[in-house]
Structure 1
Amino acid sequence: MRVAIAGAGAVGRSIAAELVENGHEVLLIDKDSKAIDVDAIPRAEWMLADACEIASLDEVGLDRCHVVVAATGDDKVNLVVSLLAKTEYGVPRVVARVNDPVNEWLFDESWGVDVAVSTPRLLSALVEEAVSVGDLVRLMTFRRGQANLVEWTLPPSAPLIGKRVGSVSWPPDTALVVILRDGRVIVPSPDDPLEGGDELLFVAAPEVEEQLRALLLRGSQPPSDQAAAAGAR
């Protein structure tokens, strides 16, 4: 997979190093010559260029990239890079860094952003996840599909403990994707029982999060939600 990263600062270099280590082809772009440090990641391709200029993006062959990461420290630049990558070069996947949470509402499909990553929001979510038991924590939003990655840690007295995953009537547009248990990552099957202390990771549509919270708290959806779920199926 070929990935272009706009912004060769600490964040961009860290992302590049991980991707290169995982066998991907990485291009780092920055207009600041001080940020170009080939020795830092010798297996990456480096380009001194302005990622907001079409001539520069033509030169680096952005249309050959599968993913573009807008990782500069300037939200305006990240939005422009995202929009150009999606509309001018048809890049399939665009990930953008949000520096100021006030600007987060801008980072959506209208600006070409598929996934917006807000470091302050992510850190806040991780803090909540670390201290919250028995409450739904939103970890990440997937813009294109309008779905969220949410986490719930089952307390010891949760009503769903002992039930099999396949026997639970999860809300529509909800998928239990991973169970974290005793340091293990479990891809759930219908016959797997739920245990106290399980960290459940769901991908769910925003509008069903309250149904999911009610189900995890009470062990069943409210009657109106059950009817809606049955109608959706």
Structure 2
Amino acid sequence: MRVTIAGAGAVGRSIAGELITNGHRVMLIERDIAAYEPASVEAAEWVLADACELSSLEEAGMQLCDVVVAATGDDKVNLVVSLLAKTEFAVRRVVARVNDPANEWLFTENWGVDVAVSTPRILAAMVEEAVSVGELVQLMTLRGGQAELVETTLAPDTPLAGRPIRELALPPEVALVTVLRANRVLVPGPDDTLRPGDELLFVTSAGMQPRIRSALRLPETVLPATE
């Protein structure tokens, strides 16, 4: 897979290193000469250019990329890069970094964003996930807010203890994808039974949280991580 990363700061370089380790081809675009350090990620292709300029992206070959990651420290730049990648180069997957949670509402498909990643929101969600038992926590949004990754840990007194997963009245728009039990990662089957302490991960269409809570018999309190 060929990936372009706009922004070669600490975040961009870290992403590039991980992707290269996993066997992907990476191009880093950086406009600030002070941050242009090819020796820091030698296996990446480096381009000194402004990722907000269409001509620079054309010359760099963004049209050949499978994924674009807008990872600069400026939300305005990340939005412009995302929009150009999707509308001008038809990039299949665009991931954008959100620096200020107040701007998160802008990072949608209207700006070409498939996945918005807000570090403050994710960290807050991880804190909530760690301390919240018997609550529904939204970990992140996908597809520009059209889908969500949500989690809950079954309380010790859950009424679902011992019940098979097939008895959960989940709507078709909700998929239980993983059950984390102690040190095990389980791919849930319809006849698997639930236990107190199980951590359930769901991928769901937006707006399904009330129906998930009803199916899991959870209280009305919700801990949203991305609002």
Q: How far did residue 30 of structure 1 move?
A: 0.4
2:40 is the alignment partner of 1:40: yes
Q: How far did residue 145 of structure 1 move?
A: 6.8
- Structure 1 residues 14-29: aligned runs within 5 Å: 14-29=14-29
Question: Share of identical aligned residues, percent?
Answer: 64
2:89 is the alignment partner of 1:89: yes
**Moved >3 Å (runs of 4+):** none
2:104 is the alignment partner of 1:104: yes
SS in 2 for 1:188: coil
- Structure 2: which amino acid aligns with 1:54? L
Normalising by the residue count of structure 2, what TM-score does the alignment of the two structures yield?
0.92
Distance 1:212 1:47, change over 3 A: same
Question: When the two structures are aligned, how many residues end up with a matched partner?
Answer: 219
Q: How far did residue 184 of structure 1 move?
A: 1.7
Distance 1:210 1:5, change over 3 A: same
- Structure 1: which amino acid aligns with 2:46? W
Q: How far did residue 179 of structure 1 move?
A: 0.9
RMSD: 1.4
Tell me which residue corresponds to 1:51: 51
- Contact 1:134/1:217 (<8 A) preserved: no
- Contact 2:49/2:56 (<8 A) preserved: yes
Q: How far did residue 83 of structure 1 move?
A: 0.3
Q: How far did residue 191 of structure 1 move?
A: 2.0
Q: How far did residue 111 of structure 1 move?
A: 0.5
- Structure 1 residues 133-152: aligned runs within 5 Å: 133-144=133-144, 146-152=146-152
Tell me which residue corresponds to 2:179: 179
Distance 1:49 1:87, change over 3 A: same
**C-alpha distance in structure 2 between counterparts of 1:49 and 1:195, whole Å:** 54
- Contact 1:83/1:111 (<8 A) preserved: yes
- Structure 1 residues 104-123: aligned runs within 5 Å: 104-123=104-123
2:66 is the alignment partner of 1:66: yes
SS in 1 for 2:4: strand
Tell me which residue corresponds to 2:156: 156
Q: 1:169-221 CA distances to partner (integer Å, 9 max, x unpaired)?
A: 212310001111112211112222111111100011232211111221269xx
- Contact 2:83/2:112 (<8 A) preserved: yes
Normalising by the residue count of structure 1, what TM-score does the alignment of the two structures yield?
0.90
- Contact 1:172/1:208 (<8 A) preserved: no
Tell me which residue corresponds to 2:191: 191
- Structure 2: which amino acid aligns with 1:90? A
Task: Tell me which moved more, 210-219 or 183-192.
Answer: 210-219
Q: How far did residue 96 of structure 1 move?
A: 0.5
Q: How far did residue 144 of structure 1 move?
A: 4.4
Q: How far did residue 12 of structure 1 move?
A: 0.6
2:170 is the alignment partner of 1:170: yes
| Runs of 5+ unmatched residues, structure 2 | 220-227
**C-alpha distance in structure 2 between counterparts of 1:28 and 1:184, whole Å:** 37
SS in 2 for 1:207: coil
Task: Tell me which moved more, 87-96 or 41-50.
Answer: 41-50
- Structure 1: which amino acid aligns with 2:120? P
Distance 1:115 1:38, change over 3 A: same
Tell me which residue corresponds to 2:222: none
- Contact 1:178/1:188 (<8 A) preserved: yes
Structure possessing the higher relative contact order (Cα contacts under 8 Å, 6 or more residues apart): 2
**C-alpha distance in structure 2 between counterparts of 1:210 and 1:168, whole Å:** 14
